[in-house]
Amino acid sequence: MDKSTEKNAAKNTEKAMFGAGCFWGVEAAFRAVPGVMQTAVGYSGGNFQGPTYQDVCSHRTGHAEVVLVEFDPVKVTYDDLLKTFWESHDPTQMNRQGPDIGTQYRSAIFYFTPEQEAAARASQQRLEASGKLRRPIATEITPASEFWRAEEYHQQYLEKRGIASCHI
């Protein structure tokens, strides 16, 4: 792809951000979705500038482990990404996923636009009304705040190690 085509392609992408427990497995789930151009794992939703993994694990920053998804809306819809989000974790668990416990593992949708907020709330209502879950959804739906990229060893962690999935 030449530079001008690359630049135009980048202009036609959108961002989405999700927290669904440990970001390693969640990132892998989104990377498998056709139309997802890039992913990055990091931290968002907290009250501390420039957090590190150690900071977030201290339970003092308020950040969630998140995946920032850049996608081509012509190839994949935000609703498709929401479907992946709901299916990649247990949204009924408060501040945990499986053995991972703490506010950094909370279920969260961080929206960038009013349209994303409306879609997220509608998808949550549909899932709740479906009867598929035995407990109420604990997912927070909140405006996106600053994204802090995690350390490089966390990026595409499972892929780098040839591991298919996390324990969840």
User: Catalytic pick from 16, 17, 20, 22?
Assistant: 22
Q: How far is CA 127 from CA 19, 76, 82, 121, in A?
A: 17, 20, 11, 10
The residue assigned the tokens 């709740």 is 128
Instruction: Tell me which residue of 150, 145, 117, 121 sits closest to 27, measured CA to CA.
Output: 150
Query: Which residues are CB-contacts of 72 (< 8 A; sequence separation ≥ 6)?
Result: 9, 12, 13, 35, 37
Mark whether 22 is an active-site residue.
yes
Active site residues: 22
